[in-house]
Amino acid sequence: MRDRNPYSATILIYCEDKQGIIASVTDFIQEHDGNIIYLDQYVDTEENTFFMRIEWELENFIISTDKIDTLFKEGLAKKFKMNYRLYFSDEKLRMAVFVSKLPHCLFDILARTQSGEWPVEIPLIISNHEDLRPVAEKFGIDYHCFPVNPDNKKEQEEKEIALLKEKQIDFIVLARYMQVLTDDFIKQYPENIINIHHSFLPAFPGAKPYHSAYKRGVKIIGATSHYVTAELDEGPIIEQDVARVTHNDSVKDLIRKGRDLEKIVLSRAILSHFKRKTLVYKNRTIVFS
Amino acid sequence: MRDRNPYSATILIYCEDKQGIIASVTDFIQEHDGNIIYLDQYVDTEENTFFMRIEWELENFIISTDKIDTLFKEGLAKKFKMNYRLYFSDEKLRMAVFVSKLPHCLFDILARTQSGEWPVEIPLIISNHEDLRPVAEKFGIDYHCFPVNPDNKKEQEEKEIALLKEKQIDFIVLARYMQVLTDDFIKQYPENIINIHHSFLPAFPGAKPYHSAYKRGVKIIGATSHYVTAELDEGPIIEQDVARVTHNDSVKDLIRKGRDLEKIVLSRAILSHFKRKTLVYKNRTIVFS
Amino acid sequence: MRDRNPYSATILIYCEDKQGIIASVTDFIQEHDGNIIYLDQYVDTEENTFFMRIEWELENFIISTDKIDTLFKEGLAKKFKMNYRLYFSDEKLRMAVFVSKLPHCLFDILARTQSGEWPVEIPLIISNHEDLRPVAEKFGIDYHCFPVNPDNKKEQEEKEIALLKEKQIDFIVLARYMQVLTDDFIKQYPENIINIHHSFLPAFPGAKPYHSAYKRGVKIIGATSHYVTAELDEGPIIEQDVARVTHNDSVKDLIRKGRDLEKIVLSRAILSHFKRKTLVYKNRTIVFS
Amino acid sequence: MRDRNPYSATILIYCEDKQGIIASVTDFIQEHDGNIIYLDQYVDTEENTFFMRIEWELENFIISTDKIDTLFKEGLAKKFKMNYRLYFSDEKLRMAVFVSKLPHCLFDILARTQSGEWPVEIPLIISNHEDLRPVAEKFGIDYHCFPVNPDNKKEQEEKEIALLKEKQIDFIVLARYMQVLTDDFIKQYPENIINIHHSFLPAFPGAKPYHSAYKRGVKIIGATSHYVTAELDEGPIIEQDVARVTHNDSVKDLIRKGRDLEKIVLSRAILSHFKRKTLVYKNRTIVFS
C-alpha cells in the first residue's frame, strides 16, 4: 500500500464530534468504489472536537477527480459542518527556504530534495545576508538577498511576498532565519510557515537558548519545530527532539550537538507537513502517524 | 473520552483485506447508537491482511451486552471471514507472575497493582526458588514454589497448570523467570504469556546477554518484552527500549542499568496486553496506540 | 575494580584552576601506596575553576584512615585553597523520604533499598497526609505524619527537623512531596535535599505541569531531579529524562507516562548522590561518570 | 579551554595497569610547564589494562614540539611499557570517502566539511558506481570510479590503494559502500577505516537488515558505526543509535527512518575519530568523552 504509492486522495477533517461521522465518511468512499488505505481519527473530548485523516486510492473511484470536492462539500461537509481540506497525491509542493548565516539546516534540506528523498520543489532561497549564496549556487537554486533592518522591514517583506506569490510558493521553511516576521507577513501563509527553534520549547524561548541552557545547567537540550504565529516561539509544535549533555559540555559543545538536532527535527516537521499529516487546532498540532 | 472511562466494548479484528470493512463495522456500531471512542486500523499489504481495533460506549447501545457477540459473529464476522475478539471494559484480568531470584520486576508489578495504577488482580506468584517469598508476603499474595529440574519439569508444570486453572488465571508474566517453559505449557496460554528478555532482541538471545554485550563492546543495551512461543526468545515482540552505555560500564553497570530497562519495558508490555491493545499475526505484534 | 568493591576513599575537590593540581593529588595518593581506581576532572574555563573526583583503594595505603583528612587539609588543600569533601566507601547513608499522596516514587525507592540494590538506610518517612502509611508499614518503616497549613508550617517543620536530627539523617528525598519547604528548613540540609519535579525544567515550573504541557501541545514530556534551594524549582539539576507523547495523549496519559519518568529520574539522582558523584557549583551540578 | 582551541598535544596511552602511571604522566607535563586541559583514564580490570587520554597546551611547554615524542618514548613509555600515540592539534586529517549509490551519508559528510564544521580535508571520493559523481562535482571533489566484480577485485583495490597513498589519505570512511574490502586492503589502514552498518549490531549483520528487522517485528531500529576488521560487521563499535518504529512502518518506512540514523551515527563516529577520542583494544573501542 504505502509501498505502491498509488494515485490517491486525502481528506483532513475537523468538526464538532457527533455520532456517525466515521461511518458516513467511510460509506461515502466505499459506495463510490474507493479503497481506503489510511484512516486515523482523534477526538479532543475537552473541546468535543473530531479530527480525521483518511486517504483512498482513486483507481476505481467512480467520482471524477474534479467533482470530489463539490460533492463532499455539498454532502457530508455541510451535514456535519466540517472544516476540511482535500489533497491529491500527485501535487508537488513548492517550498521557499529562508536562511541567515548558518548552513546546516539548508544543506540538509537541499540534500533531501536533490537526492529525490523529498518530492518537493525549491524555487528559491531568501536571506537577509549574502553568506549562503554559494550554497544555493552549488545546488543551482535562486538566491535572493533582502537585508532587513527596523526601518526597511515592512518594505522588504512586501518585496519578499511579491516574489513568493510570483513563484507560487506553497509553504515557507525558516531554516535558522534569525529575523522575526511581521504579522502581516505571517497572515499571507497561515499554518504554512515552519520554524526551527534551537531549544526544547517552552524552555528557553527567544535569543541564545544554548547559552541559557548552559547557564541553567540542564542535562538535556532540545530543538522544536513549530508553525509560526504572531506570538514569537509560541506557535503550535509539530516536532521536538532532545540530546543528552553533561556538565562537561561547553556552550560550543551544546551548539554542535544542537545543530544535528535542529536539522533532523526540522526535516521531520517538513515531512509531516508536505505529506499532509498535520492539522492545527487551537495552538496544538495533530500529527497523524 | 479516555478520561471518562465509560463502560465500553472493544473488538480486535483481523481478516483478508477487502473494500468496505471499515464502513461496515462503523455502520454496525452507529446504527445501534454506539458512540465510537477509538478506531485504529492497519493493513499489512504484503499479506493483504486487515487489522482493526474499535471501541465504543455501551451507554446508549441498543444491543444488549450478551447479544453483541452473537450478532457480530453471525453478521459481519461471517461476511468478511473475520478473526475477532470482543472485550468489555469492566473485566478485571487475573495475572500470575512467575519469578526466580531477581526482585526488581516483581516489585514494580506489585507496586502498580497495589497502588491502583493497574486494574489487574494477582491471585498468585509462582517460583522455582524460595527467595522472593518474603516479597510476596509483604504484599499479601500467595506464593507457590515449584523447584524445577530436568527430571521433574513435566510433572511440576502440570501442577502449575492445575493451580493456574483453579485460580482462573487469564495471563502469565515471566518476571525474570529463568526457566524455559515446555511447549505443552505454552499451548495452555497461547498469546497470553509475556516474557522480559534482558537484551535488545534479536541481539544476544539466550543466557548472560549483558556479558555478551560487554564483550561485543556495544554502545547501547536494551530489553525486550515478547509473547512466549515454542522458539526460545523468538516470540512476537511487544515492546523494547534501550539505554546508552560506554566503555566505562562494567558488566555490573550494564546489569544495573538493565534492571531499570527491564522493569519499565515489561510493565509497558503488560499495560498494552491488559488494555487489549495487542494483536499477534505471523510472529509480529500489532500494538495499537 | 568496580566489580571488586574494595574499601576505598573518595575526595571531591573544587578550587581555582592552576597548573599542577592533578599531578599533586595523584602524587599524594601514589607516594603513600594508594591505587587510584577512579579519576575524573573538569575545568569550568569561564569561571577558571577546577573540579575533581578521585577514588583510591585503601588496602595498602600507608596513611591510616583517621589521619587522611588532617594530612590532606594541612597539605594540598591549604596549598591550592581547595574546597573538598572526603568519604569512605563503608559509610551507609541515612535517607529520609518525604511524600504526600502519590506512591510510585516511594514504592520504587523502598524496593531498591529492601532488595539490596542500594546500600542506603531509610529510618523514616515523613508526610503531610496519612495516605501512604500502609505502604510504609508494608515495608516496616516508621511513618510520621505532619499535616501542614500556612499557620502551622514553621512549627511543623521544627518538629520534622528535630526528628531528622534525632534519627541522624544524612539526606532527604522529596518523593512527590507537594509542599514547599521554608528557607530555614533548607538551610539545615544544604545540597542534601533532592526533589523530583514532574516536568522538563525550566519548562513548566510550579503546579500542574502536565496540564500545562498538554495545553502547550508539546511532543515530549520530561522529569527533572534537582537539589532544593530557596528558589522554587530553580535548584541545580542532577538528572533529567524525557518521553515522547502525541496529540492523542490526554492529560491522564501524560500523568501515566510521567510517573515512570519521575521514579526513574529520581532514582538515578539519588544513586549519583549517595555514590558521591555530585558536586554543586553556582547552581549547576557536576555529575561525575 | 575547549572554547579557546589552543595549540595542544594529545597522547593516547594503553599499557598494563600499575600504580603511579597517572602521577608520572601528569608530572611529566607539569614539570615542563604544560597546562593539562583534558584528562580521562579508564582501567579494564578484567584485562588489568590501563587507558588514558591526556591533552595539554603547548604555549609555555618547555620541550620543543619535535622533541616530545622522543623524550616520552625514552622515558615514561619505556618505563611502563606503554603503547601510545602522540598528536598535535594543528594536524588536518585527510579523509577518503567510499560510496556506492546512496547519497545521504555522503551529502552529510560533504556539508560538514565544506561549511567548516569539520576541520578535515577530503581529497577524493571512491565508488564502484558512477551514480554519485554529480554530487562530488557539485562540491568540487575528485571522484574515482572503480567498478568491482569478483574477478577484478584484487586488481581494483590495488589501484585504489595506490591512489590513496598518492593522496596521503589518513583514514577512510565507508559511507554506505556496499562492497566488502579484502583483508589485504584493510591491513593498509588498520583502525583507520570506519563503516556504517544499517542495523543495531550484532542484530541483523549482513545484507538487507531493514527487511530482517521488519520480518522480526522489532519495535526499535538502529545504526552502528565501527572500525572495519577482517570479520564482516564484527569490528569494534564506535557509536550506535536507535529510532522507535511501530507495526505500521513498512520496510520503506524503516529505510527512511534509518537514513537519518545512519548519517548521524556515522558523523559522530567520524568526529570521535578525527578528534583523537578513540582507542581500540581487543575488539572494543574506548571512546573518551
Across A20-110, the runs of DSSP E, i.e. the strands, are 35-44, 49-57, 83-88, 94-99
Statement to judge: residues A168 and A115 lie in one domain: yes
B243 touches chain A (CB under 8 A): no
Give the three-state DSSP class for D76: helix
Here the CATH number for the domain that contains residue D178 is 3.40.50.170
Statement to judge: residues D155 and D61 lie in one domain: no
Domain boundary among C88, C113, C142: C88
Residues of chain C with pLDDT under 50: 1-4
Q: Do B111 and C117 touch (CB under 8 A)?
A: no
Helices (H), B11-84: 21-31, 65-72, 78-80
Statement to judge: residues B51 and B168 lie in one domain: no
Statement to judge: residues B101 and B228 lie in one domain: yes
Check if the beta carbon of residue C67 is closer than 8 Å to that of residue C99: no
> In whole angstroms, what is the distance from residue A237 CA to residue A260 CA?
19
Closest C-alpha to B12, from B268, B276, B285, B189:
B276
Across chain C, the runs of DSSP E, i.e. the strands, are 8-16, 35-44, 49-57, 83-88, 94-99, 121-127, 142-145, 171-174, 193-197, 220-227, 237-244, 278-281, 284-287
> In whole angstroms, what is the distance from residue C1 CA to residue B16 CA?
59
Answer whether residue D236 is part of any domain. Answer: yes
pLDDT reported for residue C92 = 93
In this prediction, does ipTM exceed 0.90? yes
Statement to judge: residues A241 and A101 lie in one domain: yes
B286 touches chain D (CB under 8 A): yes
Here the CATH number for the domain that contains residue B20 is 3.30.70.260
Check if the beta carbon of residue C241 is closer than 8 Å to that of residue C207: no
Query: A-contacting residues of C 67-106, CB under 8 Å?
Result: none
Check if the beta carbon of residue D132 is closer than 8 Å to that of residue D143: yes
Number of domains in chain B: 2
Answer whether residue B1 is part of any domain. Answer: no
pLDDT reported for residue C5 = 61
Statement to judge: residues D115 and D246 lie in one domain: yes
pLDDT reported for residue D1 = 35
Answer whether residue C276 is part of any domain. Answer: yes
The residue of chain A nearest to residue D252, with distances taken between CA atoms, is: A3
Residue type, B99: V
C1 touches chain D (CB under 8 A): yes
B27 labelled catalytic: no
Statement to judge: residues B75 and B142 lie in one domain: no
Q: Which domain holds residue B249?
A: 94-287
Which of B233, B241, B249, B260 is the catalytic position?
Answer: B233
Cα atoms found within 13 Å of the Cα of residue B269, Cβ hemisphere only: 33
Mean pLDDT in consecutive groups of 10 residues from the start of chain D, 289 residues:
68 93 92 91 90 94 96 96 96 97 98 96 98 97 96 96 98 96 96 97 95 97 97 95 96 96 98 97 94
Residue type, D286: I
Least Cα separation, residue B59 to chain A (angstroms): 13
- Per the rule left: phi > 0, alpha: psi between -120 and 50, beta: everything else, B276 is left
Which of A27, A44, A66, A233 is the catalytic position?
Answer: A233
pLDDT reported for residue C286 = 97
Q: Do D264 and A259 touch (CB under 8 A)?
A: no
Residues of chain A with pLDDT under 70: 1-5
Q: What percent of chain B has pLDDT over 70?
A: 98
Statement to judge: residues C242 and C117 lie in one domain: yes
B29 touches chain A (CB under 8 A): yes
- The set of cell numbers assigned to A45 is 473530548
What is this structure's pTM? Answer: 0.96
Residue type, C1: M
Statement to judge: residues C61 and C168 lie in one domain: no
Q: What is the DSSP letter of A229?
A: -
Statement to judge: residues B212 and B229 lie in one domain: yes
Closest C-alpha to B69, from B85, B90, B93:
B85
Give the three-state DSSP class for C260: helix
- The set of cell numbers assigned to B59 is 451507554
pLDDT reported for residue C1 = 35
The residue of chain A nearest to residue C265, with distances taken between CA atoms, is: A219
Statement to judge: residues A213 and A80 lie in one domain: no
Q: Do D107 and A115 touch (CB under 8 A)?
A: yes
Answer whether residue B148 is part of any domain. Answer: yes
Strands B237-244 and B220-227: antiparallel
Burial class (CB in 10 A: 0-12, 13-18, 19+), C67: exposed
Statement to judge: residues B101 and B76 lie in one domain: no
pLDDT reported for residue A46 = 85
Burial class (CB in 10 A: 0-12, 13-18, 19+), C99: buried
Answer whether residue C265 is part of any domain. Answer: yes
**Which band of pLDDT confidence, cut at 50, 70 and 90, is reported for residue B2?**
very low
The residue of chain D nearest to residue C56, with distances taken between CA atoms, is: D19
Burial class (CB in 10 A: 0-12, 13-18, 19+), B216: middle
Least Cα separation, residue C236 to chain A (angstroms): 7
Domain boundary among B88, B114, B143: B88
Q: Which residues pair with D285 in a beta bridge?
A: D280
- The set of cell numbers assigned to B102 is 531477581
A36 touches chain B (CB under 8 A): yes
Phi, psi (deg, nearest 5) at residue C56? -145, 150
Answer whether residue C3 is part of any domain. Answer: no
Answer whether residue B163 is part of any domain. Answer: yes
Q: How far apart are the first and last CA of chain B?
A: 15
Name the maximum alpha-carbon separation found in chain A: 64
Answer whether residue C1 is part of any domain. Answer: no
C137 touches chain B (CB under 8 A): no
Domain boundary among B42, B66, B88: B88
Cα atoms found within 13 Å of the Cα of residue D149, Cβ hemisphere only: 1
Residues of B within 8 A of D248 (CB-CB) are 42
Of C42, C201, C217, nearest to A236 by CB-CB distance is C217
Check if the beta carbon of residue C227 is closer than 8 Å to that of residue C236: yes
